[in-house]
Structure formats: C-alpha cells, structure tokens
Amino acid sequence: MKEIGMYIHIPFCAQKCLYCDFCSFSATEEMISKYIDALIKEMKIYEEKLRKCKIKSIFIGGGTPSIISINKMDKIINGIHSNFNLKEDLEFSIESNPGTLNKEKISYYLNHNINRLSIGLQAWQDFLLKKLGRVHNSKEFVRNYLLAREIGFKNINIDIMFALPNQSINHWQETLRNVVTLKPEHISAYSLKIEEGTVFNQLYKKGELHLPDEEKDRKMYHFTIDYLLENGYKHYEISNFAKEGQECIHNKIYWENEEYIGLGLGAHSYLNKIRYSNTTDLKDYIENIDKKNICVHKEEISIKDEIAETMFLGLRMMKGISIKKFTKKFGISPLKVYSNEICDLKEKGLLQVDDQVIRLTRKGIDLSNHVFVAFLLD
C-alpha cells in the first residue's frame, strides 16, 4: 500500500503577523464552523481516492490551528479517522501559537494521537515579538512549553527567526541559547523574507523597516549551524535541526519529492504525477465543496519536471542527492543529465560531488537559490 503525507490547513489567526503571506486571517466562530464542516466534506471526497493509500504523516498547519476550540478540533480528528487509513507509527504534528494554547488543548492533542507539537516562538525578546505582530510573549511561550512537557509531549519543535527588524546578533544568540536550554527535539530556524502583499513589504518600500544587512544575516545563520551542532542537533535541512532520530517525517516528504495530499483553503497536493491546489477564497471554498470543484490549478508533472524538482528539493537536505537512488528512479545518472551545471557549480565551490552523492557546500547553502535555478531545465 502506497504511503503518503497529509496536510490540513487551518487559515484562522487571532491576528495576522506583519511578515506573513500565508493564507490566513481572523474570522467569526460561525465562519470557522462552516469552514470545518466543508473540510470534513473534502475529507469524504478524498476517502475513495485514497482508499489504497496509507497516511504516514499528518501536519495541521495554518494560520494558527491552536486557535480552534477543542469541540471543533474534535470534528477534524474524527473526520481523519473516519475517512483515511493511518499508519500505526504515524507522525501527527500540529502548529501552535503560545498565545492560544492552554492545558486543556495540549492534553486533548496528546490524548488524540497528536504526537508532535510545533510551537511558534520566533524571538525571545518581547519587543521583537511585538515588532512582528505576534500575540504572545516569551513568558507565555515558556509556560506552555513546560506545560506540554509536563502533560507528556516527547516531540516538540520550536520555530525561530533571524534577520528581523532591529534584531542584533546578540539578540539572536540569546534566542538560540534560551531555546537550546529547553532541549526541544527539533528546531526550525528561518531567515526573515520580505514577501509581497505583507505589511512588512509596505514598510520596506517606504524605507521604514530596518533590517540587518546580508553580512549580519549570514553571521546569524552560520552561528546557528555551529552552535546547534555543538549542542547535539543534526543540521539535516537548510533551515532545520533535530536531535538523533527526530527529523520531521512530514517535511522530508516535500524535500524528497514524495506524494502528499493537501486539504483545506489554499492547500497543495502532489499525487499520481499531478500537482494541484485549492482555491484561496474562503467563500468559494465553502460554497463549492459540494460541487467538488475547489481545485483551481492542476498541472501534470512531466519526467523533465520531476527530475528538476527532485534535484532542487533534494539539495535542501544536507545529505544531498543519492546518485544511485536518482539513477534507479529515472534510469539515468544526474551526473549525465546535469553534467555541465554540476561541473560549473563544483568549480565555484557550491557543490560537493563524489561517486555517491551530490550535496551543497557551506558556500552553496548561502547561495542555494543560485544553485537551485541551475537545475531548472529549459
């Protein structure tokens, strides 16, 4: 039986962060109820399509899934169990914001087989959290983190961000040190990106956003790698670090170009060589779910596309691309498909290549977007 991942999108937030370009917004309880009813109907649509598949990972993301009440979350959990075949050792993650967590919710998650909690801290300093538009402070984060441990969570991820407005290297180092002291199993450390359509983008265009320069950004990132390695975290993906055996199964599905289904507003799927995405319009999603036409974009993936995607997604992983595995899958070595590109990137010190793997160098990580573009075949 084929094993795939499942992503479930909860688009609701107490307040949209100023840097966020995800499909998220605030809503009334009535609108949230209507959305969840539609989400359950979408699950039923996929029940027959996925009858011969086993779900090996579930990731409930957003938005802020922890904003949802226990009664509403119970509908989602029951819908999952009623409609899909779940693997026994399923990794089941939920994203959360410290400002919307409490003892009852955390206990409910763990008692209903959610075994991985991802908490969005972002920064340790409260003035930076306020600058980002976050609805929590560092004390709330610590309280809920320790509460999750006390209740019994043994797999916790903490999201943090660097290169923030008015963030010094000392601020970032303080964030990292305090997070490591808590000993989470997984840490996601991202550099802030200014995205179109965000409040930060508007401020940036007006010259009102004071960001660290590129040199400071890279110093923060390199400190992150070195410090987390020293403290027992494996750097397994460009922005992700984990204790031994605690790499995120769900995210690796994306990076290893495996199949997954996405449910909910704006969710993306990759199944049977087809990529498709749902509408991002809440009204359309709810109204059209009965017509089964919530998908607004559908694209068949050619072998050429699959080869390119396997390369630039796989190179996000520090282990790199297995030449043997690639050759077995596509019937040709990546060293032949991309002989010129690989030779050029190797000479520039961006790739390390031997007879087994192709991987990014430390310099290649810094210039990863330049590397990835090279593998987009004409």
Domain 2-255: homologous superfamily in CATH: Aldolase class I (3.20.20.70)
- Comparing 234 with 206, which gets the higher pLDDT? 234
| Integer Cα distance of 306 and 302 in angstroms | 6
φ/ψ of 134, rounded to 5, equals: -75, 155
Backbone angles phi, psi at 362, to 5 degrees: -60, -40
Under DSSP, the state recorded for 331 is S
Q: Are 361 and 352 in contact (CB under 8 A)?
A: yes
pLDDT 10s digits, 136-188: 899 999 999 999 999 999 999 999 999 999 999 999 999 999 999 999 999 99
281 CB burial (10 A radius; 0-12, 13-18, 19+): middle
Domain boundaries, the chain: 2-255, 321-374
- Please tell me which residue, 170 or 194, carries the higher pLDDT value: 170
**Which H helix or E strand runs over 11?**
none
pLDDT of 378 over the 90 cut: no
Confidence at residue 18, expressed as pLDDT on a 0 to 100 scale: 60
Mean pLDDT, to the nearest integer, of 37-58? 94
Higher pLDDT, 20 or 267: 267
**What integer pLDDT is reported at residue 20 of this predicted model?**
64
Q: 233 versus 376: which is more confidently predicted?
A: 233
Distances (CA, A) of 42 to 52, 86, 170: 17, 17, 47
Task: For residue 266, give the H/E element and its range.
Answer: none
- Between CA 98 and CA 117 the distance in angstroms is 11
Report residue 16's pLDDT band, with 50, 70 and 90 as the boundaries.
low
Mean pLDDT of the chain, nearest integer: 93
Q: How confident is the model at residue 208 (pLDDT cuts 50, 70, 90)?
A: confident
**pLDDT surpasses 80 at 200:** no
Strands (E), 51-210: 53-62, 86-96, 116-122, 156-162, 186-191
- Strand bridging mode 240-242 / 268-271: unpaired
Structure confidence at residue 377 (pLDDT): 58
Nearest alpha carbon to residue 155 among 250, 242, 96, 251: 242
Q: Which of the pair, 132 or 54, is modelled with greater confidence? A: 54
In the chain, DSSP finds a helix count (H) and a strand count (E) of: 16, 15
